[in-house]
Amino acid sequence: MIEAPQVVETPAQRVALLHIETPRSKMQQVMGPGIGEVMAAVRAQGIGPAGPWFAHHHAITAETFDFDICVPVNAPAAPVGRVAPGQRPARKVVRTVYHGPYEGLGGAWHEFDAWTKAEGYKTARDLYECYVVGPETSADPADWRTELSRPMLE
């Protein structure tokens, strides 16, 4: 389900972002329009996308998701509507890649988190999902690749 996890240093990355807090039951209804909103803003400004989009989850509870939809950009984004400029900080993370449909992400995170704990890594509360290959690239969910990352605590 997941590739062998690795510890890597990530560089700082300029992004345009849209912050969302939503009930879990509404996630599928807000994600697509939110991605479209950020993509439209960066394309209109001629600054991206400069890489695959990702979600930065600040908090996940049984009831809600609190996260940013992030699109890498080549230059600072100007605020447009709900879209704001931002930056993914340079950090040391533990990372893996999940192969498969989005419905399997919960199981992939469980497997990844179990491995991380078994290896004795201490990680921050937030997490990143980078959608490297998805339905916009391939109609076959077996081809989809999602990079899962957790920032490490020193």
Whether a cis peptide bond, with omega within 30° of 0, leads into 23 is no
Please tell me the CATH superfamily of domain 6-151, with its number: Regulatory factor, effector binding domain (3.20.80.10)
User: Over its length of 154 residues, how does the chain's per-residue pLDDT go in tens digits?
Assistant: 899 999 999 999 999 999 999 999 998 899 999 999 999 999 999 999 999 999 999 998 889 999 999 999 999 999 999 999 999 999 999 999 999 999 999 999 999 999 999 999 999 999 999 999 998 889 999 999 999 999 999 7
**Residues 127, 56: Cα–Cα separation, whole Å:** 6
Q: Name 98's Cβ contacts closer than 8 Å, sequence gap at least 6.
A: 1, 2, 3, 104, 105, 108, 112, 145, 146, 147, 148
pLDDT of residue 128: 97
pLDDT of residue 66: 96
